[in-house]
Amino acid sequence: MSKPEKKSDSKKKSDRKKKLAELTSKKKKKDKKGPWYRDGLRFECTQCGACCGGEPGYVWVDPEEIEAMAKELDIDVIDFEAKYIRQVGNAKSLKEYENGDCVLLDQTSRKCTVYEGRPIQCRTWPFWDSNLEKKKDWKETCEVCPGAGVGTLYSFEHIEITRREKAV
């Protein structure tokens, strides 16, 4: 009786190996196709301000971005930093209002006051890693951003270049 059990155990191991090989093969085939957004994604900024507020967070900025934003507001960099920038460890981020809105978001019009000089983190929205990891993440983005999922079709290549500009 012990021999049939061993055959049964052996058959189970063989079946597991086959199943694992099938799964590995399917994963390799899927990986060759590319990420779920390989056919591109649609986006057209409506300048509604939805991506500029809500939950508290950070908009990381570097000296060149700070200079560009100060220029948009036609103020000195030192004055700009004093009014709009906060130090977070060794990095700098835009300040926020208590409700989580970016300090550069006009509270009446809901428009960015430095749109043409906005930071890379803002320019690369919605093509952030956090929005592209899974298809459900993109669907959630489309629910909060009226420009996501509509408008211009951006190619996979464009999305990848944009996504790599600044990891968010």
Q: What is the 3-state secondary structure (H, E, C) of the chain?
A: CHHHHHHHHHHHHHHHHHHHHHHHHHHHHHHHHCCCCCCCEEECCCCCCHHHCCCCCCCEECHHHHHHHHHHHCCCHHHHHHHHEEEECCEEEECECCCCCECCECCCCCCECCHHHCCHHHHCCCCCHHHHCCHHHHHHHHHHCCCECCCEEECHHHHHHHHHHCCC
Mean pLDDT of 65-80: 98
Percent of the chain with pLDDT strictly greater than 70: 80
Q: pLDDT digits over 91-133, tens only?
A: 999 999 999 999 999 999 999 999 999 999 999 999 999 999 9
Whole-model pTM: value is 0.73
